[in-house]
Amino acid sequence: MSIPPSDYARWFAEEVQPHDSTLRSWLRGRFPSLLDPDDVMQECYVRLLRARESGPIANPKAFLFVTARNLALNRLRHQKHEHPEALAEIDPSGVSDVTASVSDALSRSEDLQILSQAIQSLPDRCRQILTLRKIYGLSQKETAARLGISEHTVEAQGSIGLRKCIEYFRSRGYGPFSRES
């Protein structure tokens, strides 16, 4: 499936570029110790365009912000090892819908932060698989191809990751996963 470059340019100008300043401000506000937010943004655009080659993206804004958050967290994690004094408090909560009420936005932000913490607590392979499958929406086959592993490994590690996330929620008494519910 080959998409003409002019279609990419039009799609990028209409669907992606309008979020440029919002994304830059969000990165600077959410991750003040990030050394170069513009590098993160460029990497987001590269990943977005690569994903677009595979097919349409339902919500480019959400894709950008989730990708930016993940890249920023990864960079801060590496930065912490290189410059431990540069790491400030990280708030990995997701993007809130600006039309939502304040209480809904706070609740969603807390839920996303808890989910982010659960995912960050997973072993590397489980975290990679859950991120690709559940956040980026890749199929089991696409995930296996991207990671260079078998589909069976994707299925097994995905199941392990989900179980560990549920255990994480239970151990902290969150929602329907808590034992008291």
Amino acid at 50: R
Q: Tell me: the pLDDT tens digits for 6-42?
A: 677 888 889 889 988 888 888 888 888 888 888 889 9
Q: Is residue 113 part of a domain?
A: no
**d(C-alpha 134, C-alpha 104), whole Å:** 22
**Do residues 51 and 133 both lie within one domain?**
no
**d(C-alpha 133, C-alpha 101), whole Å:** 29
Q: Tell me: the pLDDT tens digits for 69-88?
A: 988 888 888 766 544 444 44
- What is the phi-psi region of residue 150: left when phi exceeds 0, alpha when psi lies from -120 to 50, beta otherwise? beta
- Predicted TM-score (pTM) of the model is 0.45
Residue range(s) defining the domain that contains residue 158: 122-181
User: What CATH code is carried by the domain that includes residue 135?
Assistant: 1.10.10
- Cβ contacts of residue 40 below 8 Å, gap of 6+? 27, 34, 68, 71, 72, 75
**d(C-alpha 155, C-alpha 125), whole Å:** 12
Q: Tell me: the pLDDT tens digits for 43-52?
A: 988 888 888 8
With residue 153 as reference, give the H or E element that holds it. helix 151-171
Q: Which pLDDT band holds residue 58 (cuts at 50, 70, 90)?
A: confident
**Tokens of residue 71, six digits:** 């890249």
**Do residues 83 and 136 both lie within one domain?**
no
Q: Tell me: the pLDDT tens digits for 107-160?
A: 666 777 777 888 888 999 999 998 888 878 888 899 999 899 999 999 999 999
Please, what is the Cα angle at 147 between 142 and 150, to 5 degrees? 75
